Amino acid sequence: MPQHTVPSEPWQHLWKPNHDVGSDQCRSSIQIGTPERGGKDHNGESDMFVGIWPTNFSKGLRHDENGIVDAQVYAEFLEEVADPTCTDNHGNRLALFDTPAYSGPFRTTPSEGGEFRWRAWEGPILGHRLGLNGSDAGGLGIAPAPRLGSDELAAEMAEAYAMAYLRDVPFETLRDGADEAGKVVGALGQLEWFSRAGCPEEADGTEIGKVPAARRVRDGEGLTPQTLFRGCSQGCAQGPYLSQFLVQGHEPLTVGDAHARGQRLTQSVATGAMPFGALRIDQRVAPQAVGVDYLRDWAEWLDVQNGADTTGEQAFENDGPKFIETPRDLATYVHFDTIYQAFFNACLLMLDQGTETDGGLPDAGRTCTHESGTSWAGAHVLSLLAETATRALRAVKRQTFQVHNRARPEKLGSIASLIANGHGVVLGPAEPFAAAHLKKLESAVCEDFSLIVAIADAPSARRFVHGTVSRKGLPTNDRNLLLPVAYPEGSPMHPSYGAGHGAVAGACATVLKAFFKTHAPDGSRVALTEAAMPQVLVPAAGGKTLIESARPSDSGAKLTLNGELNKLAANVAIGRNLAGVHFYSDYFDSVRMGERVAVGILAEHLAKFPETANMSLETFDGDWLNIVGNRFSGSQIHIANSTPERWWTRHLPEQAGWEE
């Protein structure tokens, strides 16, 4: 079996690129990526579209009326992000991104008067910091993002438009394919990317390579109402859209309640109350207002690109909390969550209901507890989730700012609008690629339904207060293709690729899959019924209560623990797509990078364990991965039918041609 041995000293890093640690326990060092700007890691658009940069992140910088970033300011920002000037001679910070880069007036004001403040960028130099746990942020990479004019980017943006169009349709209705949902599925299916018989191409007309081809494969058979907006890994397309970990709760039975077990179990699970010691965590959310989307007015969109802080404009419903029922509800959850919260809750639920731990851990087979003084007990894994999430965030920030610097969907919507309204000349060298992009979007048509026409006709209500000159100098936008965004502030103040929620989701789901028993000794996946989750619940109409799903395919005997954890990672990451702030490739590549962050940290932990222990899991790509180790011989990673080196860099272009 191929293996890779991890060094046993805690200060030595796993797979640190271009560095051999000199230990007998470290058999090799792996070149995982070269994140320096100007290399071949990004998609090259920053060099193709110099001076315009329509597909690069520029939020918070100064833009002209057409939304084109000031070239000098953008160049200075990139230079500062790459090599930050941290302090002056007196120890005061001088970094450009510590102060607003746009100092002009905003065209709009808050709905209740006053003035907008500026938003700060989020973690632009976090990826520069050396990590002492797991792989360093500079030792990880993700593939280049899809380029403007490619079939993949057109499909990603079409999917973002479709998510906005169906934002208030319940997930259970989407599964039925009723009314608008069926039309959207049919329209998306006309795109070359989603068509089973399609032959998608890159922006230059060449055949796609193995990296984007891997992103094209999703869980389930083709694009159907059941697979719409789902993830790519095992279990993501099975059962309800939402993972059971986002709806179920647990209330331990007391002594003497055995006679009422069936009734009590039904009632306690259906409340959606998560155990947290003596407290209970409510799985319901405070729902955002139905039908209220943002950034459909060019003046409001431009203010937000210039860095206006409009977060206080969020509108909510007034009839109390509800379970996650619609894409907007899920977008609400990932708008306000602590970034690893869903996985912490899932861990609490499994610990409380007695889900078995991995068979290779000490005392395997007993019911795991919250005992704090025992290695690999509940307290250990709960703290490991927070630790791993932090490392995943650091790694993804390196990619967002220092490597790819990809624009958000809200900016790409402006490109389509400029072309559609005859203003393409302002895009300079990007104009022909943007025109090809719009043409591909316009092919999303099924019978009498056109996705782009539906977006152009969507409400363009002004959400902020406008002055008398708010429209002065702005381009005409009669065919409005600005993306309807669920959040008034639009996207976060950092680039799109990779995704923070995606990387954390990939890392934390991997920790849980390794810690809990997801597979039987014969390799078969553990069903939910075996993991103490016999019921499969969905929100009732209106989302105020939970009911047991009546669909035969939604059986706890058919759905698996591994699949529901994969689905949880997809829900958390793609929930941000449903809000309009991320693309599908942001999810796909980020969960895989997070997975590698987690594997590195788990290997380090096992290398320090006094006894020989091992953890096994099924990866997001369906590989069988095993980590075994102790403090005397370090730890080893085994990948069935592959090697750690090949697995580690599988989704990077230079390694995508390797045969497994």
Active site residues: 494, 501
Q: Render 398-466 in DSSP notation, one character per residue.
A: HHIIIII-BPPHHHHHHHHHHHHTT-GGGGGGGHHHHHHHHHHHTT-EETTEEHHHHHHTS-----SEE
Question: Pick from 620, 615, 624: which is nearest to 642 by CA?
Answer: 624
According to DSSP, the β-strands at 537-539 and 117-118 are unpaired
Question: Pick from 162, 166, 173, 160: which is nearest to 543 by CA?
Answer: 173
According to DSSP, the β-strands at 279-282 and 273-276 are antiparallel
Alpha carbons 127 and 123: distance in angstroms, whole number: 8
Instruction: Take residue 614 and report the two structure tokens written for it.
Output: 């091992």
Phi and psi at residue 356, in whole multiples of 5°? -65, 150
Q: Is the peptide bond before 498 cis (omega within 30 degrees of 0)?
A: yes
Instruction: Take residue 303 and report the two structure tokens written for it.
Output: 């203010």
Alpha carbons 540 and 553: distance in angstroms, whole number: 18
Q: What is the 3-state secondary structure (H, E, C) of 482-519?
A: CCCECCCCCCCCCCCCCCHHHHHHHHHHHHHHHHECCE
Task: Using CA atoms of 486, 489, 490, 491 in order, give the dihedral in degrees to the nearest 10.
Answer: -120
Alpha carbons 65 and 58: distance in angstroms, whole number: 14
CB neighbour list of residue 123: distance below 8 Å, 6 or more residues apart: 393, 397, 401, 494
Sign (positive or negative) of CA dihedral 52, 56, 61, 67:
positive
Alpha carbons 339 and 328: distance in angstroms, whole number: 18
Residue for token digits 């390794």? Answer: 514
Alpha carbons 534 and 518: distance in angstroms, whole number: 15
Helices (H) and strands (E) in the chain, counts: 18, 14
The alpha carbon of residue 355 and the mean position of all alpha carbons in its chain are separated, in whole angstroms, by 26
CB neighbour list of residue 201: distance below 8 Å, 6 or more residues apart: 150, 151, 192, 207, 208
**Cβ neighbourhood burial of 374 (10 Å; 0-12, 13-18, 19+):** middle
Question: Pick from 419, 436, 429: which is nearest to 475 by CA?
Answer: 419
The alpha carbon of residue 435 and the mean position of all alpha carbons in its chain are separated, in whole angstroms, by 28
Q: Render 171-187 in DSSP notation, one character per residue.
A: HHHHHHT-THHHHHHHH
Phi and psi at residue 468, in whole multiples of 5°? -70, -20
